[in-house]
Chains A and B, each alone.
Chain A
Amino acid sequence: MDRFAQQLVDGISAGAIYAALALSLVLIFRTTSLVNFAQGELALLSTFVAWQLHAWGLPLATCIAGTVAVSFVAGAAVERTLIRRRERHDHLAAVIVTLGLYLVIDGLVRVIWSADVKRFPSIFPSGLLELGPARLSWQSLGVLAVLAAVVGTLALLLYRTRVGLAMRAAADRPDACALVGISPQRMFMLGWGLAAALGALAGCLVAPQLFLSPDMMAGALIYAFAAAVLGGLDSPLGAIVGGLTIGVVENLAGSYVDWIGPDLKVLVGFATILLILLVRPQGLFGMRWTVRA
């Protein structure tokens, strides 16, 4: 087993977690030009719901599928009830609502499920894959495969269907949309619903690796921000590439750059966000930064 190869593989495996979260951030940013600070907590809440259903004896796949569906509806409902009225004229207020949601969900989860560490079973086989000098778990590989499938489906949805066209149009020119009979509001709800569903899926997939507890997502969120910024905040493919890159760079910097070391790894996320926004605000794959006051 080779240290460098294993750091690389583990970086990819951590990157898959950041990518999953970044992808749902991107979905919301694309549709509503908002950064949803509650994204991680919403995913966490969904994961706890799935865990609870499983603890009550339902089969795991059913729990995850059910939670994803419920999360879709809940995400759309959050947009409809809490975000919409604020979002159109006042971005600041909408961002602050997402911060409020973050606080509420964090508190609620601790009250309902306590802070104890819980095991979340994996839907993937438990074995390992020998990749030459490194080992990758089927669990991580499974997360990557699902992510790839999700990005593919999203691309099809966004670029090959009428709904996708409408969603993109609503994001770019909401007022013009209304004139041609597309309801931008409905598209915003759809974006939030999809993001919440994706967050639920991501939470259930990574929980076996991170172990379920109220702060499961908090640490990953900052790297997910970095990943989304790196990829360009509006590009699903960018979120994946950004997540994997951040995961790998963070691991290698923490292991091989002495003055960073494991304790200052988090600076990689900070530096990435700052540098990319200054040098290339549209990220690697983003089209441009949508300016909306």
Chain B
Amino acid sequence: MRSSVAGRGGAAVALVALAFTAAACGRSGSSESGSSTAAAAASSPGITDDEVVIGSSQILTGPASAYAELAQTVDAYIADVNARGGVRMGDGKTRSIRFTYYDDAFDPSRAVANMRRLVQQDRVFATFGQAGSSSVSAARDYLNQQRVPQLFVFSGDTEWGADPRKSPWTIGCPPAYATEAAFYAGELKRTMPNAKVAVLYENDDLGQDVLAGFKQAIEGTGITVVAEQSYAVTDPTVDSQVVNLAHSGADVLLDVSTPKFAAAVVSKLHQLDWRPVHLLAAVSASAQVLQAARATAQDKIVSYTYVKDPASPAYADDAGVKQFKQALETYAPKVDPDSQIAAYAWACSDALLRTLEATKAPTREALMDAARHLDGAESPMLVPGLTFTTDGDADGFPLESGQLIRFDGTTFQPIGEVVSFEGRTPRVR
């Protein structure tokens, strides 16, 4: 009896082992790892005279599958670039871009495995546009150790730009969450210098960074935080938190919530008939979300953006937005052309393209050097006046400016001029 258990196991193990042996033999051709030896050569892996290979680990399935649009948009962007002949890089050669990405389902260990696969099997030149702060954190050590660029990660965690010497191969794209907080604090200083602020925040790096950045930005002013309530993404509702905040006597609500919760907050505010100035995190500043919640101009919803809102009629004839929509229609018809995430992804893809254009030699070092010295690089999807600017170890944040916006019931309208915190992103970690 007992030997039968072991026997069955032994046979099964042997079968698996056989299968793996076969697989291993089949794969042995592609199994050498070349990154370390190639560093000494003239050009890095993943780049030839006519092609450059870019990889990414993306969230396509699982609890954060809303980010699947990000990967599809980047894919469309690169197809569009290639259709127009490719990218003319700083060494004078024009190359087409190959973009390879794998799903990590928001699981950090899968993100690490994906990055290793990209570096070793696909031999990418650089990685780009990874989403999910945990996943970026998890892959960061490996990529820095291997000296593979982790370019323009799609996360506003302040960690990515605060100290470029700590992880020189990692750089973010969107303005840091702490910078976002500084935009809102600046707007309050201008319009409500004695504001009493209630804060609702998602209990993750987004919420915690905005809260910390906001508190730092209002130090020494008449603005005070009178109440703060957190929620977890797994909470079914945030009604209770909003009620507690409504009773704090605040006249401003700083609402750092993701779209589903943002919609619920707006409708709860209606129900309570509480009408504070509603500072809403950029991640939820989408007309589609707010219309779902029946928001109007009376809700005094203020947010900020760094891209042109593709849904806004103001940009209907804008050349950049037109090209964006046309490329999506051609190469990624499943992506909603009015999607905010797609617009962000497109702008960050421009950052990649500008960096490649400024890369003076076909090496990862040269690529990273270009990313660290962007000087007013432009994107037709960025709000007019915004550019990507970095400055070596002194400034690791490509975007530190934004346009405050308010919701008028159908779309977002700009408030005043572009606000710049160039070189002044608050350090909250």
Contact = CB atoms under 8 A, between A and B. Distances in A.
Direct contact of A and B (CB under 8 A): yes
Interface of A: 1, 3, 6-7, 10-11, 13-14, 17-18, 107, 110, 114-119, 128, 135, 137, 209-211, 213-216, 218-220, 222-223, 250-251, 254-255, 261-263, 265-266
Contact of B235 (A1, A261, A265): A265
B289 interface: yes
Interface in B224-241: 229-237, 239-241
B269 to A, nearest CB: 12
B237 A14 contact: yes
Nearest to A208: B267
A219 B237 CA distance: 8
Given A7-B243, A11-B240, A266 B259 contact: no
A103 to B, nearest CB: 10
A263 B289 contact: no
B230 A117 contact: no
Contacts of B272: 1, 6, 135
A117 B231 CA distance: 18
Given A117-B289, A119-B292, A211-B260, 11 more contacts: A10-B240, A11-B240, A117-B288, A119-B294, A135-B271, A209-B237, A215-B63, A220-B236, A251-B239, A266-B232, A266-B234
Nearest to A255: B244
A292 to B, nearest CB: 27
A118 B244 contact: no
A6 B236 contact: no
A17 B235 CA distance: 13
6 contacts: A3-B244, A3-B247, A14-B240, A115-B68, A128-B271, A219-B235
B343 interface: no
A261 B243 CA distance: 14
Contacts of B273: 135
Interface in B281-316: 288-289, 291-294
A102 to B, nearest CB: 13
A211 B263 contact: yes
Contacts of B241: 254, 262
A117 B289 CA distance: 6
A24 B230 CA distance: 31
Residue with the highest number of chain B CB atoms closer than 10 Å, among A6, A107, A128, A222: A6
A263 B237 CA distance: 12
B194 interface: no
A119 B234 contact: no
Nearest to B294: A119
Contacts of B229: 262
The 9 A-B pairs of least Cβ separation, nearest first, read A115-B66, A119-B292, A219-B236, A220-B236, A3-B247, A251-B240, A10-B239, A110-B65, A211-B263
B61 interface: yes
B167 to A, nearest CB: 29
Interface in B212-263: 229-237, 239-241, 243-244, 246-247, 259-260, 263
Contacts of B263: 117, 119, 211
A126 B165 CA distance: 56
A6 B288 contact: no
Nearest to B228: A262
Nearest to B238: A262
A291 B291 CA distance: 50
A273 to B, nearest CB: 16
Contacts of A251: 239-240
B240 A262 contact: yes
Interface in B259-279: 259-260, 263-264, 267, 271-273
